[in-house]
Amino acid sequence: MKRNSSIILSILLGIVQISNAQFILKGKIEFEKTVNQHKQMDLGDDGWATTLKKQTPEFKHTYFNLVFSGDKTLYAPGRESNEKPSPFGEGPASSNMVYTDFANQRTVAAKQVFDESFLIQDSLRKYQWHLTKDTRKIAGFECRRAFTVIMDSVFVVAFYTDEIVSVGGPESFQGLPGMILGIVIPRLYTNWYATKVQLEEVKEAAIAPPKKGKTTNYSGMEKTIQDSLKRWGKWGKKYIWQIMI
């Protein structure tokens, strides 16, 4: 009876063990997103950026949870940070929710852009990942490094582990042979790293697509914000990159 109870518990936690290897099927991951706000302001402009820096903390940290089970994931805002609020309000992508259905190759994402809410319904993005032999440990997992380029010129580094079966990751990043536990975007001075992975039963209701916002797809939202920010110059371009991740 005791042995049977242990087996049942392992199944509920979403763990499959084969030849001493551990493969995680379901659970929750906390990601810490770190933005170097001072670096984002360095666009070669005049002294007004220096004034902004004096009123803004150098780094901004926010937290998101990624719940995963089987072929579905949901990325959404997590616990609140203890940092003081920015004097300029929340930046782009601070309240993103991204639902991914790998079986049907579909995604539903809720994004707030200024005063407008978008509900993106689209197919999964296709990333041309390049795998390397480099590794690093993140949240206790050995992760392998990969990289790709998005939006024509934005370099992205990812770290993934094949110990977690789901091929998801933070924001819309996915498509590697395992869960992405780290993302670095140098041109945006932004990174996401998993701080902990919790093995727990995940109810179906916990992985549901968002429903609020103006329905569109990725190209439709990009066109809308490009029209709105075309006068912003370099600032507008980087702002669009942050929104479209």
Per-residue confidence band for 17, with pLDDT thresholds at 50, 70 and 90: very low
Mean pLDDT computed over every residue of the chain: 85
Rounded Cα gap, residues 101 and 107, in angstroms: 6
Rounded Cα gap, residues 119 and 122, in angstroms: 10
Q: What is the pLDDT of residues 78-113, one digit of tens each?
A: 998 887 766 556 677 788 999 999 999 999 999 988
The count of other CB atoms within 10 Å of the CB of residue 29 is 27
Q: What is the pLDDT of residues 20-78, one digit of tens each?
A: 446 899 999 999 999 988 887 776 555 666 777 777 888 899 999 999 998 999 999 99
- Distant-in-sequence, close-in-space partners of 62: CB < 8 Å, separation ≥ 6: 32, 33, 77, 81, 94
**pTM score of the predicted model:** 0.87
Rounded Cα gap, residues 219 and 228, in angstroms: 14
Per-residue confidence band for 19, with pLDDT thresholds at 50, 70 and 90: very low
Q: What angle do CA 77, 57, 87 make, to 5 degrees?
A: 75
Q: Quick one: which of 245, 242, 217, 221 has its CA closest to 232? A: 242
Rounded Cα gap, residues 20 and 7, in angstroms: 15
